[in-house]
Structure 1
Amino acid sequence: MHVPVRRGQLKLPLQRDVPAGAAEFVCSPSNVEAMTVLAHWPDGGEQVLALHGPAGSGKSHLAAIWAERVGAIALHGAEAGLADPLELEGRPVLLDRAQDADDETLFHLINLAQSGGGALLLAARPAPRAWDTALPDLRSRLDVVRAISLQEPDDTVLAAILRARFAARSITPGDELIDYLVRRIDRSAAAVESVVDRLDAEHRPVTRALARQVLESDDSTGELFD
């Protein structure tokens, strides 16, 4: 099936900057396979690769490290349809939230990556095999994309996320506070953001005792973290 290339798309101010502190990504058993593969990809390997895993597993962060290393053009979800294919040809491309891109865009990006000189990294929660598509040719391409999974944050990663979120608010938490929260909150970036918001909003020294009060208060109102 041939899908015509669209013309007149916007230029690429839509590419997004890699996040600050990308080099501080924490390696752990939950992400070591993906880190190892991306450290050298696409040198001598397949031209399309997918990272998938739950929210907070570090897909976007790890993909951004790769994009920074290879100088990739970074696109995001449905916005990828605005990119001019001529500007992407022969270039490494990162597509974050790839499952949100339309079928035609995905088809073009995969074909461009395989046409020579390019590479396409797809980051999404579900693996490509699980994405809905109405294009049979796209379905066959997605089904053979190599997919590497990241697991939900383990203790090491969750502690690092907590420290980073506290640091963004100029809070330096003690080890006992981090250990306490790691054992009690849900393993997701959303849960981290929520508990840090709550603790910061108290406008008091952020200690284990305060964390216990906040979590017990949430438990009593049905706002459970775990």
Structure 2
Amino acid sequence: MTMYAQQLSFDLPAKPALGREDFYVAPSNAMAVTLLTSHVNWPQGKLVLTGPAGSGKTHLTHVWATQAGARIVRAERLPDADLCDLAMGPVAVEDVDEIAADEAAQDALFHLHNMVLAAGHKLVMTGRNAPNLWALSLPDLQSRVQGATHASLEAPDDMLLSIVLAKLFNDRQIAPKPDVIPYLVGHMNRSFVAADQVVRQLDHLSLAEKRSLSRPLAIRALAEIQRHA
């Protein structure tokens, strides 16, 4: 392979589809989907959505925000946000577990939490682990988080992992050969992060070498990922 061929490889960003029709419901996420889409029944009007990186938290949060007319904000950006404006409607605050050492962000979320609920709106908060493990340094905020309804996205089963891989390939507008996804499901690490990593690696190899997405290429992609792990 020539250097010129390598230079023709462009790692273009994927354009993820975040609509409800793009979110596949499986046993591993059915309860979370049910809880999130039936938001009128949340006790106290708030819900915590948790799951590992790449598990679909952002996707499902966007689905809810579209249905509820909510706005989405990252927890770390709350100190610079207009809390009064945000509290005028339902809100989703992402990655709350990442502000455990950020007192300003926690203080802002505490006030936003109280303002949103006092106004009768819904509040969603997301994080990777169960809320009792977030270890927020503001006790009043930690207690309010733990008092929310909790929906958890679990690790994918074979069917869901296959669907996720197909969606990731589709987001990048690339089509693997029929035996690629079954092979990946049987040999890759069982996580959404791993699925994203292997699709990126396959896309890169396919572009760099101008080859179709075949099983031999999948074998190479997994080997290279393992070698650099």
**Same fold (TM > 0.5):** yes
Deviations 1:172-216 (A, max 9, x none): 123321111011112233322322222222331111122123334
Q: Judging by fraction of residues, say which structure has more helix.
A: 2
Tell which deviates more after alignment, 189-198 or 176-185.
Answer: 189-198
| Bigger relative CO (Cα 8 Å, ≥ 6 apart) | 2
| 1: CA distance, partners of 2:111 / 2:195 | 37
Answer yes or no: is 1:207 the counterpart of 2:214: yes
Question: 2:180: which partner in 1?
Answer: 177
8 Å CA contact retained: 1:55, 1:152:
no
Query: Secondary structure in 1 aligned to 2:47?
Result: strand
Q: Alignment partner for residue 78 of structure 1, among 76, 83, 90?
A: 76
Question: 1:8: which partner in 2?
Answer: none
What is the CA-CA distance between 1:218 and the residue it aligns to?
A: 4.7
Structure 1-normalised TM-score? 0.81
Question: 2:4: which partner in 1?
Answer: none
Query: What is the correspondence of 1:53-132 to structure 2 with a 5 Å cutoff?
Result: 53-101=51-99, 102-132=105-135
What is the CA-CA distance between 1:126 and the residue it aligns to?
A: 1.6
8 Å CA contact retained: 2:198, 2:225:
no
| 2: CA distance, partners of 1:135 / 1:191 | 34
Tell which deviates more after alignment, 32-41 or 82-91.
Answer: 82-91
What is the CA-CA distance between 1:123 and the residue it aligns to?
A: 1.0
Query: What is the correspondence of 1:143-154 to structure 2 with a 5 Å cutoff?
Result: 143-154=146-157
Answer yes or no: is 1:159 the counterpart of 2:162: yes
What is the CA-CA distance between 1:139 and the residue it aligns to?
A: 2.8
CA RMSD, 1 decimal? 2.0
| 2: CA distance, partners of 1:136 / 1:170 | 46
Which structure 1 segments of 5+ residues have no match? 1-18
Question: 1:12: which partner in 2?
Answer: none
What is the CA-CA distance between 1:43 and the residue it aligns to?
A: 4.6
Structure 2-normalised TM-score? 0.80
Question: 1:168: which partner in 2?
Answer: 171
| 2: CA distance, partners of 1:197 / 1:217 | 12
| 1: CA distance, partners of 2:77 / 2:157 | 32
Tell which deviates more after alignment, 65-74 or 77-86.
Answer: 77-86
Question: 1:7: which partner in 2?
Answer: none
Question: 2:34: which partner in 1?
Answer: 36
Query: Secondary structure in 1 aligned to 2:40?
Result: coil
8 Å CA contact retained: 2:202, 2:213:
yes
Q: 1:171 to 1:117 in 2, by over 3 A?
A: same
Question: 1:25: which partner in 2?
Answer: 23
Identity of aligned residues (%): 36
AA aligned opposite 1:65: V
Query: Secondary structure in 2 aligned to 1:183?
Result: helix
| 1: CA distance, partners of 2:144 / 2:53 | 25
* Corresponding pairs, count: 204
Which structure 2 segments of 5+ residues have no match? 1-15, 100-104
Query: Secondary structure in 2 aligned to 1:214?
Result: helix
8 Å CA contact retained: 1:98, 1:124:
yes
8 Å CA contact retained: 1:56, 1:152:
no
| 1: CA distance, partners of 2:223 / 2:137 | 48
Deviations 1:121-177 (A, max 9, x none): 011102222122232322322232221111012222222221122223321123321
What is the CA-CA distance between 1:45 and the residue it aligns to?
A: 3.9
4+ long deviations beyond 6 Å: none
